[in-house]
Chain A
Amino acid sequence: MDVFGSFALVLAFICAVYAFGGGIAAIITRHPLLIKSTRQAGMATCCLIFLATFSLEYLFFSDNFSIAYVVSHSNRDLSTFYKVAALWSGQEGSLLFWSFLLAIYVFSVLLTYRNKNGELMPYVGVVMAGVQIFFLTLNNFIESPFKALASPAADGALRLVTAQDGRGLTPLLQYPEMVIHPPNLYSGYTGFTIPFAFALGALLARYPGEKWIHLTRKWTMIAWMFQSMGILLGAHWAYAVLGWGGYWGWDPVENASLLPWLSGTAFLHSVMMQEKRGMMKVWNVWLVFVTFLLCILGTFLTRSGVVSSVHAFANSSIGSWFVGFIVIILLTCFGAYLKNRDYLKSENQLDSIVSRESSFLFNNLILLVACIAVLSGTLFPVFSEWFTGNRISVGAPFFNKVNIPLGLLLLFLTGVGPLLAWRKTSTDSLKRNFGWPLGIGLAAGVIALVFGFRQFYSWVCLILCVFVASTVLLEFYRGAKVIRSRSGASYAASAVELAMRNTRRYGGYIVHMGMVFVFIGLAGAAFNRDIQKDMRQGDKLQIGPYTLVLQGFDTKPERNYTAQRLLVEVLEQNKPTMMLYPEKRKFSTTEENGTMVAIRSTLKEDLYVVFAGMNPDTQLPVVHAYLNPLVKWIWFGGVVVVFGTLVALMPNRRAVLVLSTAPQPVGQAVAHGLPSSVTLREGHD
């Protein structure tokens, strides 16, 4: 199976090269057969990558310990669930997985548009094939996951060997979310290849109008949705597994995933200006380019360890390949831009500072400043070493100082932007749209002050959250009222009807509402508390309204590890509420430990209990308890964001089949007893 897999990868590489080279030839010659064959080569590339990925997965499932990658990342006792995840737990497999997900996108695009957009698609195909060639080069020649296990024999020559068992999957990854977090994040990273390919293709082809934006909208949103889910799942994993009580540490790998999300979010907003007013064309094209570059950079940072590492960590050889690829993309983008920049001339200018356009402009500015701040903070060690010879890193205070105010400004615009009119907004409309929400927001602020709320940023966040939520709810209410007055349905049914009539707009509002929930959760972090204590059986620990009583300690042998468990009883206001079981897991193969945090999560707060090990002096278990308010809102907000995106992805208008008989020319028969013409009318009022 390993030979089959490597062979499939080599063939995939050859097909991708053909799709790329043949594609260029097809663009020049316009030969229809060549166009068709390169498209089919592109699809074949994808199918071969699927085969290679499945064969690696098969090697995991069949416990084939003659393959180095399988030995390093699996063992016999590893459960089926984690054998799937073992695929992307190391360097080689991750890169293959990247190719795999990209292949899904590329295949879908080639299939969807096989008979459409004939002028544009050969260009798009060439760009996609170019990206595939890069990753297939890594898969085939640099980081092949199919390397056999070999060992030096007595005479010094290498012999192929088979290990008895593997070294197992690292314990930190043996957690359900680790099975879904990387696929989501990688689907985000790879997904931005599609809008990039369309943008670059359209620029190269001088494809008329805003059509490429319409074509890529749903692909961008899918990628954005996966990126959002990936980021939040990663945060949740860090929260539930690493046992430090937080979900975001401004770690380079986390930052790497945030960067394309920021620029991708900017892109999703600013394309609307191009669609409606023909503005910002240069900006949009560059936003897509930058987003794709940040995806590649993110993969590079994650896989090469160039930043998080001190000198000892950075051993990966793929770094230079990524740098080379980034340079090639940049040169291509610049070249295409310089050659065809006249094609990107803006049709309109900004009319007023109080307008939808200007809110988008500021939205973009803020997202971009945040992106630059995160990027420079992340790459600071690299650049400081280049320029000063000293490797200097910056920590959480740097990122928080910049990004918290930016986040709040963005939240403000989330409420304001969608309700401003294009071109210029009148004072009357400002009053009508914002009077109530602003009043409610400020009232919430005053009430919070009275109740002793003293954290400035959290207080501002609260006011803004209430304000934005009110604007969204007011929009739904107004729209639903109109529908209700005509149909007589309930408010809820009318609101659903409203959203279905303009999924894009109301899906967007739902996404905004989700972001409000996320911000509510983030604001809670200002009130986090924690306490740590060595505890005997029967000892109590007080945190907030909770009393923790250590009832006992047990050891539970499992298939792949042994768990040491604390039995902690939770009393809320002195009433027994529940038991929590924080664990330490000792994994048999790696002799490493894993932590399982026990969390009681409510909308008000999380009680987060960690078994922090045994105190070597007292031989007593150490319990570290955190009280983290409002964290659940972040995860809930994430679900709402995804739901909103799915709504926005649905067809914008519901088509209603209206059967009508068209006027018949005399003498023509009605075939098969059917009405001679079926008119498809869009259900629009």
Chain B
Amino acid sequence: MKKQAKFGVGIGVIVIAMGFLAWLGYGESKTYYHTIAELQTLKGSANTQRMRIGGTVAPGSIRHLAGRTDFVLEGEGKTLPISYIGTDPLPDTFIDKSQALVEGRPGPEGRFVAEVVQAKCASKYEAAPGGKGGATPSPTERSAM
């Protein structure tokens, strides 16, 4: 019995310590997902949380300014002006009409201040139907058979 108690203590210490660390890390890094439409309905403390918002970059809206990049994100018929203030260069996939994910907090005057911008990642890249390039027709459900 004593032997099993020893193992129990060892296992317990590891699990509890890791649980505690996980809880600390959770508090430090939790980020809420919202859509652009939801953001406009948030009230009180929910409006100051760190959050992630996805949408499509409005064509022609990207403006590089000193120390920041402004652009507009569109989604579900709504728009959201964004100021990116992060130090990392914007990803190469970040262009007009690209799907982007911004992370940061709502700022003054309805402008969202982003510290991180991700554009659609390569592993999920699918050319948009009717997109640019040589082919305009879109793939259909009809099989070649």
Q: Which residues does A use to contact B, with CB under 8 Å?
A: 2-3, 6-7, 10, 65-69, 71-73, 75, 89-91, 144, 146-151, 158, 160-161, 163-168, 170-173, 242-244, 251, 253, 302, 305, 308-313, 350-353, 358, 361-362, 365-366, 369, 373, 376, 381, 385, 390-402, 405-406, 409, 532, 584, 589-595, 610, 612-613, 615-617, 622, 624
Contacts and interface: CB of A to CB of B under 8 A. Distances in A.
Contacts of B101: 310, 313
Given A6-B144, A72-B139, A244-B89, 7 more contacts: A358-B7, A362-B14, A373-B18, A401-B24, A591-B132, A610-B89, A624-B89
B41 interface: no
A593 B93 CA distance: 7
Contacts of A244: 88-89
B104 to A, nearest CB: 13
B52 interface: yes
Contacts of B120: 313
Contact of A352 (B3, B18, B126, B131): B3
Interface in B104-134: 120-127, 131-134
Interface string B76-102: 000000000001111111010001010
Contacts of A150: 137-140, 142
A460 B11 CA distance: 21
A43 to B, nearest CB: 25
A167 B132 contact: yes
B134 A164 contact: yes
Interface centre among B11, B65, B143, by most chain A C-beta atoms within 10 angstroms, is: B143
Contact of B145 (A68, A146, A302, A617): A146
B125 A172 contact: yes
A393 B123 CA distance: 20
Nearest to B22: A402
A148 B21 CA distance: 52
A305 B124 CA distance: 7
A27 B124 CA distance: 42
Contacts of A251: 121
Contacts of A594: 92
Contact of B29 (A149, A163, A350, A394): A394
Contacts of A151: 136-138
Contact of B144 (A2, A71, A242, A584): A2
Contact of B121 (A166, A308, A353): A308
Contacts of A10: 145
A148 B3 contact: no
Contact of A405 (B17, B26, B90, B99): B17
B52 A313 contact: no
A394 B133 contact: no
Given A353-B10, A612-B89, A589 B15 contact: no
Nearest to A256: B123
Interface of B: 3-4, 6-7, 10-11, 14-15, 17-18, 21-22, 24-26, 28-35, 52-56, 64-66, 75, 87-93, 95, 99, 101, 120-127, 131-145
A167 B127 contact: yes
A6 B143 contact: yes
Contact of A6 (B11, B53, B65, B145): B145
A172 B120 CA distance: 11
Contacts of A390: 32-33
A243 B31 contact: no
B28 to A, nearest CB: 4
A89 B21 CA distance: 38
Contacts of B124: 305, 308-309, 313
B125 to A, nearest CB: 4
Contact of A391 (B24, B33, B121, B143): B33
Given A308-B121, A310-B53, A381-B33, A163 B135 contact: yes
Contacts of B56: 312
B135 A167 contact: yes
B10 to A, nearest CB: 7
A593 B141 CA distance: 31
A616 B64 contact: yes
Given A72-B127, A148-B144, A165 B134 contact: yes
Nearest to A1: B144
A405 B13 CA distance: 13
Nearest to B9: A353
B52 A592 contact: no
17 contacts: A6-B143, A75-B133, A90-B126, A150-B140, A150-B142, A163-B136, A173-B122, A242-B91, A243-B89, A251-B121, A311-B33, A312-B54, A313-B120, A365-B14, A376-B22, A590-B133, A592-B95
Contacts of A72: 126-127, 139
A350 B2 CA distance: 12
B30 A393 contact: yes
A406 B87 CA distance: 31
B38 to A, nearest CB: 10
A312 B99 contact: yes
A280 to B, nearest CB: 13
Contacts of B89: 243-244, 610, 612-613, 622, 624
Given A312-B54, A400-B25, A394 B88 contact: no
Contact of A172 (B11, B87, B92): B92
Interface centre among B26, B90, B133, B134, by most chain A C-beta atoms within 10 angstroms, is: B133
B110 to A, nearest CB: 19
A394 B26 contact: yes
A395 B115 CA distance: 13
B90 to A, nearest CB: 8
B122 A172 contact: yes
A310 B144 contact: no
A7 B93 CA distance: 37
A171 B127 CA distance: 12
A253 B121 CA distance: 10
* Cβ-closest 5 pairs across A and B: A310-B54, A68-B139, A151-B137, A165-B134, A398-B25
Contacts of B138: 68, 150-151
A73 B134 CA distance: 12
A361 B54 CA distance: 43
Contact of B139 (A147, A532, A615): A147
Contact of B135 (A149, A242, A313): A149
Nearest to A151: B137
Contacts of B126: 72, 90-91
B18 A167 contact: no
Given A167-B127, A358-B7, A402 B93 contact: no
B134 to A, nearest CB: 3
Contacts of B10: 353, 362
Nearest to A406: B18
A149 B130 CA distance: 12
Given A65-B135, A146-B144, A401 B64 contact: no
Contacts of A612: 89
Given A151-B138, A312-B99, A393-B52, A350 B7 contact: yes
